[in-house]
Amino acid sequence: MSASYENLLYDLDAASGILTLTINRASKLNALNGATIDEIAAAMQHALDEPQVRGIIITGSGEKAFVAGADIAELAALTPAQAQRAAERGQEAFCRIEESTKPVIAAVNGFALGGGCELAMACHMRVASENARFGQPEVNLGLLPGYGGTQRLPQLIGKGKAIELLLTADQVKAEEALRLGLVNHVVPQAELLAFCQQLLGKILGKAPLAVAMVLECVNAHYAKKADGYEAEAKSFGRAFESDDFKEGTQAFVEKRAAVFTGK
């Protein structure tokens, strides 16, 4: 199954429930322009509304870049007011990824710079190919990250190192990104999508409602107006109402594999 977009490939494997979203502007190293940002937001909403989609992989077309940054020529023509709105629009799109109750993995297949690094960080997990590079080079242009980079990078790697990378615009190779905690795994590029599919498949074998509530509770820790501990306790109580909880505990007692229904 697929949906049609100008700058994205939307490929749903009905058997596994895994949707692969591919940023498809290889000639521009998959740079993010306004139209692509809007399509990412629309595709994510489509995925969240589509019951057959159970998990999502986001990647870039070609072998050079996941997303090499924003479309600088487009940005340069904006007024200050338009620039603020563009940042808000990008933040809204990436928050839709981060707040997804369906797990999202970034398959980073090359350069993830500027908006590309921000897109990867909005995903719940990141798997990098060995040739991947990460960075926020905006200060080289007299700018700063506008799609959440100043917020998510410190969350992932700590305040001090994040500030260093944001202010120096240094790029980080895949193995260094793994050491810093920016990515979860590094694999050969030829194995990248298969590894992500396997990881996502493992998660999709768990209770869907519990997976969704874990994501909600982790996000609550970072939300401005939420108490992560309160959210966790409430979700823990809600889990006890589910058929999945009854099935999971019964299967444990009976020493068999659980069959979850997401109810």
Positions marked catalytic: 118, 138
Q: Minimal CA–CA distance to 176: which of 105, 128, 144?
A: 128
